Amino acid sequence: MTEVPCPECGKQIAPESELCSRCYADSIDAFSLPDSVGLSVCSSCGSFDVGEGWNSLDEAVPEAELVMQAVERELKAHVDALDPSISLACRQIDTGRYEVDVDFSAKVRGVHVRETEAVSVSIDRTTCTTCSRRSGGYYESIVQVRASGREPDESELERAVEVAYGVAGRDYGDRDTFVTKTQEVEGGVDVYMSTTKAGRQVAEKLSQEYGADVGESATLVGEREGDEVYRVTYAVELPRFVSGDIVEVEDDALLVESNDDLLRGTSLKTGRRESYSDAAVEDASKLASASDAVDTTVVSQGDGEIQVLDPETYETVTLTRPDYVSPDSDEVPAVSTSHGVYLVPERGIRRRGDA
């Protein structure tokens, strides 16, 4: 094949080549950078934006390092620049102003090239979208936690708030998810969440834990970029009876273990597991909680019966001995209610304590 001279240096090259490797490497910019780079840094949380959206870091980073990272993100290598190596040196010119020296080397068609350039970087101290929304009380959803036929207890209200902060904390990568505020109101607590998705997650979590019913309603509050914006309210209704409650239902005293589609638990009269439908539960009433149980003295046992001291009046009462009470027991946990004395299994007390 007949070679031809390189138009620049005269070196013999293949006829299909426009330039020899050396002249080609000299003719291109191995890398490109804008003359100046802007970097916005949030004064509140330290997140930064280089024009592609706000980013946050797990730990605080020195300002000079953020500057060099911003420059490196803007650097574009030529398609033929292989095995690139970049060295950056940063110096501060003034408050919020830096200059970065860029030393770039690579191989272009087998020829080693090296180029240098100085880039100015200016930092704009501002407030990111998330911090602005936080300070402005922004929210897209409200989780209203109430209870059916009763007041939620303090542990349930605390758990609702704990779940909300847990959802906000584990929503990795979504820095716009946060708890805007929590507000105790008559009959429960309202939790304001920054996104609709977060509110739904809180409501679903509480539903799973407590067997709560969840209702949903949306209100049109405006438009954003031509799209309608709705604020969603999730109404979480905790069940009337929860794990650890002692409930009178159909002439039985039930230690509640769960209450989702059915009310399930242990009969304190027989020790057997029982379940009741919604219709049966309509006339049920709470007698006490397993956490109210105290150890009381066993007076005597025999023929399926047990005599104990009423923990309030200290009178001797005779009861059918439930299956969960050992015939050798000297003391048993018991509660005194308006409907009589009931013996409580140890596992029921522990379950209530863990709830």
pLDDT at 346: 79
pLDDT at 302: 87
The string of pLDDT tens digits covering residues 83-92 is 999 999 999 9
Residue 265: is its pLDDT beyond 60? Answer: yes
pLDDT at 57: 66
Residue 354: is its pLDDT beyond 60? Answer: no
Residue identified by tokens 């770039």 is 104
pLDDT at 153: 87
Nearest-angstrom CA–CA distance, 165 and 189: 14
- The predicted model gives 126-131 an average pLDDT of 86
Residue 33's nearest CA partner among 101, 82, 85, 79 is 101
The string of pLDDT tens digits covering residues 170-225 is 644 567 889 999 999 999 999 999 999 999 999 999 998 888 899 999 998 877 77
Which H, E and C letters describe 190-223, residue by residue?
A: EEEECCHHHHHHHHHHHHHHHCCEEEEEEEEEEE
pLDDT at 261: 77
Residue 148's nearest CA partner among 69, 241, 65 is 241
Q: Could you tell me if 228 and 139 are in contact, meaning their C-beta atoms sit under 8 angstroms apart?
A: no
The percentage of residues in the chain with a pLDDT greater than 70, rounded to a whole number, is 94
Q: How do 141-147 and 227-238 pair as beta strands?
A: parallel
When comparing pLDDT for 273 and 1, which is higher?
273
pLDDT at 47: 81
**Mean pLDDT over the full length of the chain:** 88
Residue 120: is its pLDDT beyond 90? Answer: yes
Nearest-angstrom CA–CA distance, 105 and 87: 9
What are the residue ranges of helices labelled H in the chain?
A: 21-27, 63-74, 129-135, 154-170, 196-210, 278-281, 346-354
pLDDT at 128: 87
- The predicted model gives 65-72 an average pLDDT of 90
Strand partners, 102: 88, 117
Structure tokens at 143: 């989780």
Structure tokens at 332: 């048993």
Torsion angle (degrees, nearest 10) of CA 216, 221, 222, 223: -30
- 260 DSSP 8-state letter: S
The alpha-carbon radius of gyration of the chain (Å, integer) is 36
pLDDT at 355: 40
Residue 64 backbone dihedrals phi, psi, to 5 degrees:
-60, -35
Cα-Cα end-to-end distance for the chain: 86
pLDDT at 351: 38
